[in-house]
């Protein structure tokens, strides 16, 4: 939901996307061009200050949100989040990096979640079809999905 601006109060559509390293991206999308960082920094704040603010900011503070803190995971833990028919579930990325792939049921769907370490890429599939997901920090995931479940490998519990 938009909290400020002209769309305030409106439900926003979640757009898809992928996060992977440049090697993986370029191999999958070889025609990609990119804009390198400009040589001259033109932002209102000095670049060093912006960089310092962003580096590790979530480790130093937790911004107040609309829901109480959820301590099932560290707030800066990276998760893969999915929503099936209103049911949300988070998969700790560190676990996925260890096992490389897992299968799970969320709602009425059987999902396969894969991690490719060579390109730092996550894929979520429903059968052979890509399924939308978010790769984000736990603090952001539970803020928008406060009744989310957290995946636990039955073998390691």
Nearest CA-CA partner of 82 in 129, 132, 140: 132
DSSP conformation class of 41: -
Q: By mean pLDDT, which of 14-28, 46-60, 82-96, 107-121 is the weakest?
A: 46-60
Cα(50)–Cα(137) distance, integer angstroms? 20
pTM for the model stands at 0.71
HEC assignment per residue over 57-78: HHHHCCCCCCCCCCCCCCCCCE
Q: By mean pLDDT, which of 63-77, 96-110, 129-143 is the weakest?
A: 63-77
Provide the edge-to-edge strand list for the sheet that holds 134-137. Answer: 134-137, 78-84, 87-92, 149-150
Q: What is the DSSP string of 76-136?
A: T-EEEEEEETTEEEEEEHHHHHHHSEEEEEETTEEEEEEEETTTTEEEEEETTEE---EEE
Q: pLDDT confidence of 4, banded at 50, 70, 90?
A: confident
Q: pLDDT confidence of 68, banded at 50, 70, 90?
A: confident
pLDDT of 3 reads: 77
Is the model's pLDDT at 119 over the cut of 50? Answer: yes
Is the model's pLDDT at 62 over the cut of 60? Answer: no
144 against 80, higher pLDDT: 80
**Tokens describing residue 56:** 């590790």
Is the model's pLDDT at 155 over the cut of 60? Answer: no
Q: pLDDT confidence of 157, banded at 50, 70, 90?
A: very low
């Amino acid at each position: 939901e938009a909290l400020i601006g002209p769309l305030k109060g409106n439900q926003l559509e979640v757009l898809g996307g992928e996060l992977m390293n440049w090697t993986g991206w370029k191999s999958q999308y070889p025609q990609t061009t990119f804009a390198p960082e400009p040589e001259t920094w033109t932002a209102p704040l000095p670049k060093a200050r912006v960089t310092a603010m962003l580096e590790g900011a979530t480790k130093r503070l937790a911004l107040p949100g609309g829901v109480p803190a959820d301590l099932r995971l560290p707030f800066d833990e990276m998760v893969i989040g999915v929503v099936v028919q209103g049911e949300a579930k988070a998969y700790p990325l560190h676990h996925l990096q260890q096992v490389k792939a897992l299968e799970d049921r969320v709602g009425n769907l059987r999902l396969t979640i894969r991690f490719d370490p060579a390109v730092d890429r996550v894929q979520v599939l429903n059968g052979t079809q890509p399924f939308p997901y978010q790769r984000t920090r736990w603090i952001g995931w539970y803020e928008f999905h406060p009744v989310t479940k957290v995946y636990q490998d039955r073998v390691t519990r």
